[in-house]
Every structure is written in C-alpha cells, then in structure tokens.
Amino acid sequence: MNKRRTIAAINEKVERGEAVVMTADELCNRVRSGEEVSFEDVDVVTSATCGVKSGTYAVLSFKVAERDEFERAERVFLNGVPAFPGPCPNERLGIIDAIVYGTSRRDERYGGGHLFRDLVSHEEIEVLVETVEGKTIETTTNLDKIPFARLSSTRNAFRNYNAFVNPEPNEVASIFSVSKFEGAFKGLTFSGCGELNPLEKDPFLDTVGIGTRILMNGAEGFVIGAGTRSSAEKPNLMGIADMHAMQPEYVGGFRTSAGPEVWNSWAVPIPIVNERVLETAKRLDEEIKLSVLDVHTRLPVGEITYADVWRDSSVRFDVHKCIECEECQVASICPMDAFDGLAKEVNADLCCNCGACVLSCQGGAFYCELGTVTLSGRQIPVTLRQSDRKRALKLAVMLKKLILERDFTLSVPVSRL
C-alpha cells in the first residue's frame, strides 16, 4: 500500500519540532552509502538549483520626476541597460513602470543580470528616461527608493538541462561558452545541478504547483505556473519573488562569448507526501540522464549522466602557483569577474565554480576535477559548468534551516501544473 501524508500534517510536525528535514545532498549521500531510507525516516527534502537562467526578468515601478514634468516615458535605461516602459503609462505622475530582461545588455560586459545584482546589493543606479515629448530625464535610484521590485521568470528550474558540444571544425560564439566554442568535439559544457535539482526530486509534480512557496535568490517567493517550453519530460517553472529580500551572492550577470547572461537561484522544499515522491527524491546522479546537444542545431548527438560531469563542486586557487603573467588570462575570461589578477584574490561571493579558470590559467594555479566524458568513442573534456552545485547546496541548507526554525512554512499548491 502506498503510504501518504499531507502537507498540513508535515507542517504540524514542524511546529512540534518532530519533522525530519534533509537536504537533497544528505538524502542522496545516505542512499549512495547503502543506507535504507524509508517513508518514516524523512518528511521534507530541500532541493536547489543555481546557474545561468536566461528566462529571468525584473518588474520595477518607481519615481523619476515630479508630477506633470513629463507625459509618459518612451525609452528607459538603467545603468545603460534598456528597459521596456509600461505597460501602465503612469501619465504625468512622474513614475515609471519598467520591465528589464536579464539578457538585455548595455555592452558585451554588462547586462540585465549585472543590473539585478547591483540593485540587490543596494548600489546606486543611473536612470535615463526619454519621454514622448522629446525630453531626457537623468537621475539615480537604488532599491530602497524602488517600492515595487519583483524578479520573475518565463522558465527556470528545468527538471534537467543539457550538455553541448561543437561537432564542427570551426569555433563559434555561443551562450554556452565563455570563450568561443571550439570544435570539433574539443570540449563539453553543461548546466544543471543533477540530484539537487528541484524537479528531479519531484518530476511528476506531486508537490510542486501553483502557489508553492520557494526561495529565489534567498528571498521568499512563489511558483506562479509552468514555464514556457515546459513538457512532461522536461518540466520547468515560472516564479516570482521580491528583490528587496534577495541576497546578491545568488544573482548576477554571467558573460558568455555571445554576450551577457543572467545568473539566478532557486530553492524548493519537497514534502514527502507519498512513497513515489520519496523514490524520485532518492535518485542519484548516476540515474539522471544528461542529453548532449549539437550547439548549432540543438539536436541530440549523445547521452551521458550527471555522474559523468559532477565529480568536484569546488574550484580552488593556490596563490603560490601563480606565475604572474603579464596579462592574466583568468581575470580576462572569468564570466563573473570573480578574480582580481593584481591582488591575486578570488571573490567568493562572485565565483560560481564554473571551471573556466582551470583551463585558462597558464600556471595551473586553479584546480578542479572537471572530468572527461566518453561520447561515441571520443574522450571529451568538460570545459565549462554553467551551474554552481556548491552554491545550490548552500541554498538547500539555508532552506532546511528556515523550515526547522519555523521561519518558512510549506504551502499547499492551489492548483496542479
């Protein structure tokens, strides 16, 4: 008989201090060690994903001028990043509503994701408004002066993602590489946190639905629906959260050879409401397929597993091995600007453990076991990870702590996806 429990019953156990909450990492490590984990042994599994998520945008509303100073905004730029004014015209109120895509860009080094991090870090932002009358209004603002600031998504938190290779001999600019993607089959890049991914823990959406409470970049938010291109095989989610409560280390810009992308993070509680959810929550990297696609056609050329690519979550730096190159390749290629070549320091809040530094450092001062995969008889090195499993685990631990301390209540979805 399939054992069941309700989310309400789990919340009651949390209130009594009796609930057992495990991170996805803790659960999977127990399974990997051969331990039998039964339905009675766990009530909630906290999952998380952190990485490049193109389908992310911000909705902002704030004052830029006094009443009747202009009729309405026609164009808006925030730190040089173009925003879309409206949909509300806010005629003559001196207020603008604006939607900013995470993939919009000021230039090749600064885009919407960088802007989001600057906002969440409470940095001063330059605002330029071009009005329908031909006026130009220039001012500054920061998150404390923006009463409405929400980060949302068209599609985030895919059940699993993809890996990419370039089968062609010529290199190509791509959002899936930080330098031009070399061919043929000289490297493999991938996204997804494997056994930590929320929808790998609940692929049948037994517990995740409209109204599910989540953490987005450390701030409490909600699932608002299925994302674009969501399917039964590869579901993904739309979500929303208030930027005022977000933590900057979980959001930002990520430079690729095709321009800036946006970095975003989710943590999702998976209540163990039945045995089917427990069994999917226990699935390991070795059981989770990772499709390898041709970066040109986006069509499959092979299949591996997340165990083939997730061998070491952390990138480490040994300052003693630095050979002090005249021009530091790591500083120039790092997609998050996390390394200061002059100070020889890594900014841990920016570093996303992508591994780009490991292959570009001429002195071998950066180390991580990125691994090599076998695909159609070829040995292909992993050259870039566009997800940060180390930070995802940190988020899963944060969510576990919030639940146990009764600062985060599991929500019952108002509708299934």
- Is there a contact between 242 and 149 (Cβ–Cβ < 8 Å)? yes
Question: Rounded CA gap, 365 and 52, in Å?
Answer: 25
**Predicted pLDDT of residue 28:** 98
Paired with 82 in beta bridges are 77
Element (H, E) at 163: strand 162-165
Angstrom CA distances, 392 to 24, 47, 183, 380, 402, stand at: 10, 8, 31, 26, 15
CA nearest 255: which of 50, 128, 360, 106? 106
Taking 50 as the pLDDT cut, the residues of the chain under it are none
Paired with 59 in beta bridges are 99, 150
Calculate the CA 209 to chain-centre distance. Answer: 19
Question: Rounded CA gap, 179 and 330, in Å?
Answer: 11
Residue recorded with tokens 């599910």: 212
| pLDDT tens digit sequence for 109-156 | 999 999 999 999 999 999 999 999 999 999 999 999 999 999 999 999
Calculate the CA 206 to chain-centre distance. Answer: 23
Question: Rounded CA gap, 161 and 194, in Å?
Answer: 9
**Predicted pLDDT of residue 123:** 98
Angstrom CA distances, 223 to 212, 266, 276, 318, 410, stand at: 5, 10, 22, 41, 13
CA nearest 137: which of 124, 146, 145, 126? 126
Pairing of the two strands 378-385 and 188-190 = parallel
**Predicted pLDDT of residue 160:** 87
- Is there a contact between 298 and 172 (Cβ–Cβ < 8 Å)? no
Residues 6+ positions from 177 with CB-CB distance below 8 Å: 187, 189, 256, 257, 295, 383, 384
- Is there a contact between 156 and 35 (Cβ–Cβ < 8 Å)? no
**Predicted pLDDT of residue 2:** 80
| pLDDT tens digit sequence for 208-224 | 999 999 999 999 999 99
